[in-house]
Structure 1
Amino acid sequence: MAAETVEMVVAGRTGWIRGRVDRRLAAFFDEHPSPVPDPEVSAAYELLREFVLDGGKRIRPVLCYWGWRGAGGAAEEPRPIVDAAAALELCHAGLLIHDDIMDASATRRGRPTLHRALGESPAILLGVLAMTWGDELLATCGADPVRLRAARVRYDAMRTEVITGQYLDLLAPTRTGVTVDQTLTTIRYKTAKYTVERPLQIGGELAGAEPALLAAYSRLGLPLGEAFQLRDDILGMFGDPAQTGKSCLDDLREGKHTVMIAHARAHASGPAAAHLRQWYGNAVLDERQAAGIREIVAGTGSLAHVESMITQRVGEALETLTTAPIATEAREALTALADRIAHRKQ
Structure 2
Amino acid sequence: MTSGRDDHDFTTRVDHTLTRFVEHQRSLFAAMGPDLDELADAAIAFVEGGKRLRPQFCLAGWLVAGGDPDEPGIVPAAASLEWLQGSALVHDDLMDGSDTRRGRPAVHRAFEASHRDAGRVGDPAGFGESVAVLLGDLMLSWCDEMFRASDLPTVPAALAYLDLCKTEVVAGQFLDVVGQTRATLSVAEAMRVVRYKSAKYTVERPLHMGAALAGADATMIDALSEVALPLGEAFQLRDDVLGVFGDPAVTGKPAGDDLREGKRTVLVARAHELADEAGRALLTEGLGTADAVDALATLIRTSGALDAVEADISRLEAQADAAIDRLGGRAPEVLHPLALKATRRAS
Q: Fold conserved (TM > 0.5)?
A: yes
Task: Kindly state the Cα deviation for residue 340 of structure 1 after the two structures are TM-superposed.
Answer: 2.0
Partner of 1:61: 55
> What is the percent sequence identity of the aligned residues?
42
- Aligned letter for 1:130? M
Offset from partner CA, 1:11-69 (integer Å, 9 cap, x none):
222112111111100100111112445343211221111111x2210000011001101
Q: Which residue of 2 aligns with 1:339?
A: 340
Aligned to 1:51: 46
CA contact (8 A) 2:184 2:264 kept: no
- Given the alignment, which residue of 115, 118, 121 partners 2:108? 115
Q: Which amino acid aligns with 2:61?
A: G
Tell me the distance in 2 between the aligned counterparts of 1:75 and 1:44: 34
Please give the residue correspondences for 1:144-293 in structure 2 after superposition, counting only pairs within 5 Å: 144=153, 147-282=154-289, 285-286=290-291, 289-293=292-296
Give, in whole Å, the separation in 2 of the partners of 1:337 and 1:11: 11
- Larger mean CA deviation between 14-23 and 31-40 belongs to 31-40
Per-residue deviation, residues 89-116 of structure 1 (Å, max 9, x unmatched): 1111111100110111110011001011
- Indicate the residue corresponding to 1:299 in structure 2: 302
Amino acid at match of 1:290: V
TM-score by length of 2: 0.92
Q: Which runs of 5+ in 2 are unaligned?
A: 112-127
1:83 aligns with 2:76: yes
- Partners of 2:259 and 2:222 in 1: CA distance: 37
1:327 aligns with 2:322: no
Could you give the per-residue CA deviations for residues 102-136 of structure 1, whole angstroms, max 9, x where no partner exists? 11111001100101111011111011001101100
- Comparing 269-278 with 175-184, greater Cα deviation is found at 269-278
Q: How many residues align?
A: 329
Q: Distance in 2 between matches of 1:339 and 1:48?
A: 29
What is the alpha-carbon root mean square deviation over aligned residues? 1.4
Whole-Å separation in 2 of the counterparts to 1:321 and 1:49: 34
Aligned equivalents of 2:107 and 2:6: distance in 1?
32
* Equivalent residue for 1:15, pick from 1, 5, 8: 8
Alpha-carbon shift at residue 176 of structure 1 (Å): 3.3
Is the CA contact (8 Å cut-off) linking 1:108 and 1:245 kept in structure 2? yes
Name the amino acid aligned to 1:98.
H
Quote the Cα distance in structure 1 between the aligned partners of 2:277 and 2:167: 42
8 A Cα contact 1:192 1:221, kept in partner = yes
- Tell me, yes or no, if the aligned pair for 2:56 and 2:78 is still in contact at 8 Å: yes
Alpha-carbon offset, residue 272 of structure 1: 2.6
Larger deviation: 190-199 or 261-270? 261-270
Letter in 1 for 2:133: I
Instruction: Look up the match of 2:141.
Output: 132
Matched to 1:24, the amino acid is T
Task: Describe the superposition over 1:201-237 as per-residue Cα deviations: whole angstroms up to 9, x where unpaired.
Answer: 1000000112221111111000000000000000000
Conserved 8 A contact 2:30-2:36: no
| Preserved CA contact (<8 Å) 1:17 1:65 | no
Structure 1 residues not aligned, in runs of 5+: 1-6
Shift of 1:269: 2.1
1:70 touches 1:331 (CA, 8 Å); kept in 2?
A: no
Q: Which residue of 2 aligns with 1:100?
A: 93
Secondary structure in 1 matching 2:3: helix
Work out the CA distance in 2 between the residues paired with 1:129 and 1:35: 16
Mapped partners of 2:312, 2:152: distance in 1: 38
Q: Which residue of 2 aligns with 1:4?
A: none
- The counterpart of 1:41, out of the listed 36, 39, 60, is 36
Corresponding residue of 1:26? 19
Measured after TM superposition, the shift of residue 177 of structure 1 is 3.3
Between the aligned partners of 1:188 and 1:143, the Cα distance in structure 2 is 29
Does the aligned pair in 2 maintain the 1:84–1:141 contact within 8 Å? Answer: yes
